[in-house]
Amino acid sequence: MRLRLLIAYDGSGYAGWQRVATGVGVQERIEEALEKIAGRRVAVEGASRTDRGVHATGMTASLDWAHPRLAAADLRRALNALLPSDIRVLEARRAPPGFHARFSAKRKLYRYRIQNAPVADPLRRGVCWHVPHALDLAAMRAAAEAFVGRHDFSAVATNPGYARASMVRTVRLCRVRRRGDEVLVEVEGDGFLYKMVRTMVGTLVEVGGGRREASSVAAMLAARDRRRAGKTAPAHGLCLARVGYR
């Protein structure tokens, strides 16, 4: 039967979700645990690649499961007993035939956390980017509006080392809000390019810090030149929060 997993992980010690030639991906750890349970290799498909050090609370994965004595409801417990403590399967349930975590996905929501305070909180150093200077949220929100819509996002993407069919993506939401001493940047779209969200965040922080005008973001996107955008925000502040399906 086809199964759908909901997975959370602390990405600090991983090279991303996907299997890679150097380092260990979260996918590899889950497939190793499944092999111990099933007695054979079980391939797992993830909804999205994530960069090295990026976290997830809402990664979706799909797989084919044919273990005769272990139902889907019991698989979650079995996996969590074998997985390292920084990876957890939150749900395991049946999915329709043909469901694919990546190709069936309609939207993905990423959330970036910035601790905007004079002194960094050592307990949040692994999940927040510390920005000590004051940020102008009104300016950041004005700049964020330019990212919404269907655009060529070459200006905020890094070359991943492989060919891409298109640099055009649709961003449905780019929201900036404050929660205590944190500034949250939430970006939802149909798909994302390599380091795209992190570069969007880096650009918005430059706007919030007064180093570029909010009105410059539209022209930056139109130029399709990575050198026109801000720096890439650190990976540890980013989290894949949710993947949406029809």
Is pLDDT above 90 for 178? Answer: yes
pLDDT at 41 over 80: yes
117 and 85 in one domain? no
109 SS3 class: strand
Tokens linked to 17: 């979700």
What local confidence, expressed as pLDDT, does residue 127 receive?
98
Q: Is residue 158 part of a domain?
A: yes
150 and 200 belong to one structural domain: yes
Last residue of a domain, one of 41, 73, 94: 94
44 phi and psi, to 5 degrees? Answer: -120, 130
Q: Are 197 and 169 in contact (CB under 8 A)?
A: no
Taking 90 as the threshold, does the pLDDT of residue 98 lie above it?
yes
* pLDDT digit string, tens, across residues 110-157: 999 999 999 999 999 999 999 999 999 999 999 999 999 999 999 999
Active site residue 64: no
Same domain, 113 and 80: no
Whether the per-residue pLDDT at 170 is higher than 80: the answer is yes
Do 127 and 221 sit in the same domain of this protein? yes
Question: Do 39 and 111 reside in the same domain of the chain?
Answer: no
- CB within 8 A of 3, min separation 6: which ones? 62, 63, 64, 65, 72, 75, 92, 93, 94, 95
Give the per-residue pLDDT at 195. Answer: 95
**Domain's final residue, options 94, 125, 153:** 94
Do 228 and 117 fall into the same domain? yes
**Domain co-membership, 124 together with 77:** no
CA distance readout (Å), 69 to 27, 40, 63, 77, 99: 24, 15, 17, 14, 23
Same domain, 116 and 63: no
| Angstrom distance (rounded) from CA 73 to CA 229 | 46
User: What CA–CA distance (Å, rounded) separates 188 from 177?
Assistant: 14
- Other Cβ atoms less than 10 A from the Cβ of 235: the count is 18
Structural domain of 155: 106-245
| Residues 169 and 207 reside in one and the same domain | yes
Residue 101 forms part of a structural domain: no
Q: Could you tell me the CATH number of the domain that includes residue 196?
A: 3.30.70.660
Cβ-Cβ contacts under 8 Å for 210 (sequence gap 6 or more): 136, 139
Same domain, 130 and 83: no
In a domain, 212, yes or no: yes
120 in any annotated domain: yes
Residue 9 lies in a domain: yes
Q: Higher model confidence: residue 20 or residue 29?
A: 29
In a domain, residue 100? The reply is no
The confidence score (pLDDT) of residue 197 equals 98
Whether residue 165 is predicted with pLDDT greater than 90 in this model: the reply is no
Planar angle of CA 199, 146, 53, nearest 5 degrees: 20
Number of domains in the chain: 2
Q: Do 32 and 56 sit in the same domain of this protein?
A: yes
Tell me the angle at which helices 137-144 and 196-208 cross, rounded to the nearest 10 degrees: 140
Residues 51 and 121 reside in one and the same domain: no
- Scan for tokens 């050198």, then name that residue: 227
pLDDT at 126: 97
Residue finishing a domain among 71, 94, 117: 94
Q: What is the CATH number of the domain that holds 6?
A: 3.30.70.580
3-class SS letters over 34-55: HHHHHCCCCCCEECCCCCCCCE
Q: How many alpha carbons lie under 13 Å from residue 192 in its C-beta half-sphere?
A: 28
> Percent of the chain scored above 90 by pLDDT?
90
